[in-house]
Structure 1
Amino acid sequence: MQTIGELMNNLATEEGLNETSLSRIKIFKASAYSPRGPLCYKQGVLFVGQGSKRVYLDDKIYEYNPENYLVLTVPIPAECETCATTQKPVLLMMVDIDVQQLNHIIIQLGDQRPPPSYAKEQQGLFLGRRSSTINETLRRLLQALQTPLESHILGEALIQELMFRLICAEGAASLYALASNNSRLSQIDRALKFIDTHYQQGIAVEQLSQLVNMSPSVFHRVFKEITASTPIQYIKKIRLSRAHSLLIGQRMRVSEAAAEVGYESSTQFSREFKRYFGNSPSDYSKTKRAE
């Protein structure tokens, strides 16, 4: 029987992000060490099959490895360190969170749901322990992904089973909060989804707070508690991360990338980009293109 790491390796045909036959699942492979640097994490659950990665957020360090899993209830700009070698590459599976699916599972749980006090705990990011039950479900899902037929017939049901296991696991309060329309976490999630589609525009904190029916002061406080950034800082990090992708992935000119993500001044963009990534956009772009 192949291990979870071996099954992930079968699906990781190239370095970086690998698509699978299920749109909600991707496999990531890294064969070299990457020092601590900015990374914008998407909403989802990450399972490591081999190696380890560290997330630096605010003053906390989260290391995820084959013993645990990382849940991102909302998209979070953080810093990441990849502990990998050619002999032992990092292999991990990324599963997108479907909030409607979470809500459906929680409704089916009925009286087995945790009491309200339990569901008040809300985090944008947390680590969970990988139990034998979670590992077995994970292994069966990866096994199904090996062949198109099994993936087509069993894939979605196995993702639902995996989400059920996570909801029933210790520390799942944030997943309950995310699925609740009235929780602070779900309100911030709505604001973040708005930012994701409007980040190029001028977005005011008051506009976001009105969108989720919070006062500006409460919104600002809760937003920072969940994302470790103020709303303005968050928007800036999203813009810079998207510009980084445009410079490297699409090889845009610096002025074009700056305008694309909403900067009116290329000078300001270059200054903030260098402060965030450690290199100016032009230097960083040249370095990456030469790799």
Structure 2
Amino acid sequence: MSEIAALMGRVAAREGTTETGVPGVRLHRRSADIARVPLLYQQGVVIVGQGTKKVHLGETVHVYDPDHYLVLSVPLPAECEAVVAPGEALLSMAVDIDLRVLGDIIERMDDPAGNACLKAGARHQGLAVARADAAFKETVVRLLRALLSPRESRVLGPGLVRELLFRIMCGENAASLHALAVKNTGISRVEKALKHIHCNFYQPCNVEQLAGSVNMSTSAFHRAFKDVTSLSPIQYLKKVRLNKAKSLLAEDGLRASDAARQVGYESVSQFTREFKRYFGASPTSCRR
């Protein structure tokens, strides 16, 4: 077992999600494989200590493991599956991205090579897998060690998260994060639109107005949105609504009709059809 896996196992001693003393840092333990299932990924970084995960986004499959980490520049509905060896647990750590901290890091780096990703017409995806080099792994080890102590979590944790973001910006596939932190790039405008969708997912979506709110033409907005998320705005909204509804059913115990209305569906029958098509199970079966 690697040092990262051993430390993750100590921090996440119980099955499920473990919140830590550092805001925006969570660990996950699961003792069984995960069959392919739709999920709503949050903006952030996912680091695997043990096991292998796959993310299906559009027609592309992204694989990450102890030698590769996942970077989500924006929240994305995707499909996940995971494999662990018999007798082992799937261990991972999720770290949220603070865009103010990220912007300060990029400004201090003053990297001409990074600025090249901002050229006109550059395409940026909302998801990327990068190789975990020695410097990145060493930072992860020190962060995990700090998480074992409440005092070190409070004092050292935020600085180590900042260092981790710096290591990511020094690694491969950092272009989307670089563009995200700069105003008026395609991905930064799409990210602003995504925030609006997540805050107002229960309301009808007017794509023309949404494009106008981020100062883009409808056609340019559609292209940029598809580049970043691999989905159209309407497809993205539908998957967000269905994931939100599943949470209402599984965590709050709402009835299907109530969950449907809360996420913006006017027709309960349409909601039931789309829910079953997306998750492969009826809303009733997912209710707590």
TM-score of the superposition, structure 1-length normalised? 0.94
Secondary structure of 2:35 counterpart: strand
- What is residue 12 of structure 2 aligned with on the other side? 12
Q: 1:233-258: CA deviations, max 9, x gaps?
A: 10000000010011111111111111
Secondary structure of 1:79 counterpart: strand
Unaligned 5+ segments in structure 2 are none
Number of matched pairs:
285
- What is residue 114 of structure 1 aligned with on the other side? 113
1:225 CA displacement:
1.3
1:15 CA displacement:
2.1
- What is residue 152 of structure 2 aligned with on the other side? 150
Structure 2: how far apart are the matches of 1:121 and 1:242? 29
Structure 1: how far apart are the matches of 2:60 and 2:249? 30
1:263 CA displacement:
1.2
- What is residue 214 of structure 1 aligned with on the other side? 216
- What is residue 39 of structure 1 aligned with on the other side? 39
Matches within 5 A, 1:270-281: 270-281=272-283
Amino acid at match of 1:97: I
- Runs (4+) of structure 1 moved beyond 4 Å? none
Amino acid at match of 1:49: G
Q: 1:206-244: CA deviations, max 9, x gaps?
A: 121011111111111110111011100100000000100
Unaligned 5+ segments in structure 1 are none
TM-score of the superposition, structure 2-length normalised? 0.95
- What is residue 73 of structure 1 aligned with on the other side? 73
1:113 CA displacement:
3.8
Secondary structure of 2:113 counterpart: coil
Secondary structure of 2:245 counterpart: helix
Mapped contact 1:121–1:173 kept (Cα < 8 A): no
- What is residue 90 of structure 1 aligned with on the other side? 90
Matches within 5 A, 1:120-135: 120-135=122-137
Q: 1:74-96: CA deviations, max 9, x gaps?
A: 11101111213561111000000
Structure 2: how far apart are the matches of 1:259 and 1:96? 30
Q: CA RMSD in A?
A: 1.5
Secondary structure of 1:191 counterpart: helix
Q: 1:48-98: CA deviations, max 9, x gaps?
A: 000011001111111110011000001110111121356111100000011
- What is residue 189 of structure 2 aligned with on the other side? 187
Secondary structure of 1:117 counterpart: helix
Q: 1:151-172: CA deviations, max 9, x gaps?
A: 1110001111111111111221
